[in-house]
Structure 1
Amino acid sequence: MPASAGKHLAMYNFGLHVAAYESPAVEGFRLREAANFEAAARAHGFIGRSGYAGEPGTPCWGEQVFPRFIKGSGFQTAPSSLSLWADIESLMAFTYSGVHADALKGARHWNVRQSWPPLVLWWVDHGAVPEWKDGVERFEHLHDHGASPAAFSFKQPYGPDGRPQEIDRLRIKEIVAGNAVGQGELLAHVLTLKV
């Protein structure tokens, strides 16, 4: 039985673009967005993600709000996501390989340098669906107070039992290999896109 039995890992991330979403400066991000969502949907351990208000398809998990770091940016909205995963290894395998890893390489061109964490992680009961406000609260808590069982990151992870967790690197490699099989054409596509 996995360490995360009865729990799912919630993830919220937030960043700020260097220019408006529709601008040529962040075209590379825009061009990769659909492929990233599809890659996540095909990834081992993916449970689900929130959609965005006013967009068809995936339902939005509560009203979308943003952390205080958006203030003074000139933006009303910002790139952010909220998702659920089976465990931390599944999320790390998706994040640092394949389609999403390609997007991470381009992030320095599309996003401003952050003085806040890139993401926050926390455990929720199986069947629970976090809302945007939950992610924002935990994101700000991680920034203000550092990692704890209530709000942590890949660098200092906690397990569902509230104890510091060791990352299973071998398992991540196995998941990456499995994900690559189902995402080959997506990766081939994004590698042809402009940064």
Structure 2
Amino acid sequence: MSGESHHLAIYNFGIHVAPYEAGEVEGFRLREPLNFEAARRACGYVGRSGYDGVAGPESWGDQTFPRFLKGSGYDSGPSSLSLWEDIESLLAFTYSGVHAEALKNARAWNVRQSWPPLVLFWMPRGHRPGWSDGVSRLELLADEGASPAAFDFKRAFAPDASAYRIDRDRVKRLAAENASRNGALLDRLPGLPV
């Protein structure tokens, strides 16, 4: 666990295969509010940035995008920025339940990436990252690999920069608790188009 001093930030970024309103990404669009609600209900969730001009949480600064967007033909891409209590809480949400079902279908909605899909980094409690923080950390991970400043689930670090040992049993317990909180959301997934 992270201890009392920090929260875990995650920033992710991709590029859709078609504009957001296109039929090719309808499955993503229909699952997006379910994923946001599943995160909100998940153990260890702290909060997320909203998007300027979109109803919901306040945006954590001006939304910016990594250099990987250049040449795509788009001026934005699907991205999110959120805070969690620790790595185990985020893992339990990411790879089970509603979000895991969306991940299973992500290849249908997103172009193949040559950059990391996400970056993790620690923020002192009471502080929240801005979009530009997420972008710079993702680019750092892409350029230099995992480090205490920018890492992923495969090579994680603790706030003190030491190697982080993930408690897999705790991840399983949290995933089970999340499932009990999100049953109604899971029931809405069958029949949604991919």
Q: TM-score, normalised by structure 2?
A: 0.98
For the aligned residue pairs, the C-alpha RMSD in angstroms reads: 0.7
1:3 to partner: Cα distance? 3.4
Partner Cα distance (1:97, 1:15) in 2: 20
Partner Cα distance (1:3, 1:64) in 2: 27
Contact 1:4 1:159 in 2 (8 A): no
**What amino acid does structure 1 have at the position aligned with 2:137?**
R
Name the structure 1 match of 2:45: 46
Name the structure 2 match of 1:23: 22
Q: Is 1:57 aligned to 2:56, yes or no?
A: yes
Q: Is 1:79 aligned to 2:78, yes or no?
A: yes
Partner Cα distance (1:15, 1:108) in 2: 11
Partner Cα distance (1:192, 1:183) in 2: 17
1:47 to partner: Cα distance? 0.1
Task: Output one character per residue of 1:47-77: Cα deviation in whole Å (capped at 9) or x when no partner.
Answer: 0000000012210000000000000000011
Q: Is 1:143 aligned to 2:142, yes or no?
A: yes
Partner Cα distance (2:190, 2:64) in 1: 32
Partner Cα distance (2:12, 2:57) in 1: 18
Name the structure 2 match of 1:152: 151
Helix, strand or coil at the partner of 1:124: strand
Helix, strand or coil at the partner of 1:152: coil
Between stretches 39-48 and 51-60, larger displacement belongs to: 51-60
1:119 to partner: Cα distance? 0.3
**What amino acid does structure 1 have at the position aligned with 2:32?**
E
Give 1:40-189 correspondences, 5 Å limit: 40-189=39-188
Partner Cα distance (1:144, 1:3) in 2: 26
Q: TM-score, normalised by structure 1?
A: 0.98
Q: Is 1:7 aligned to 2:1, yes or no?
A: no
Tell me the percent identity: 61
Contact 2:2 2:85 in 1 (8 A): no
Instruction: State the number of aligned residues.
Output: 194
1:100 to partner: Cα distance? 0.1
Task: Output one character per residue of 1:81-116: Cα deviation in whole Å (capped at 9) or x when no partner.
Answer: 000000000000000000000000110100001100
Partner Cα distance (1:110, 1:147) in 2: 27
1:191 to partner: Cα distance? 2.5
**What amino acid does structure 2 have at the position aligned with 1:24?**
G
1:21 to partner: Cα distance? 0.5
Contact 2:27 2:193 in 1 (8 A): yes
**What amino acid does structure 2 have at the position aligned with 1:161?**
D
Partner Cα distance (2:103, 2:177) in 1: 20
Could you list the structure 1 runs, at least 4 aligned residues long, displaced by more than 3 angstroms after superposition: none
1:160 to partner: Cα distance? 1.2
Helix, strand or coil at the partner of 1:84: strand
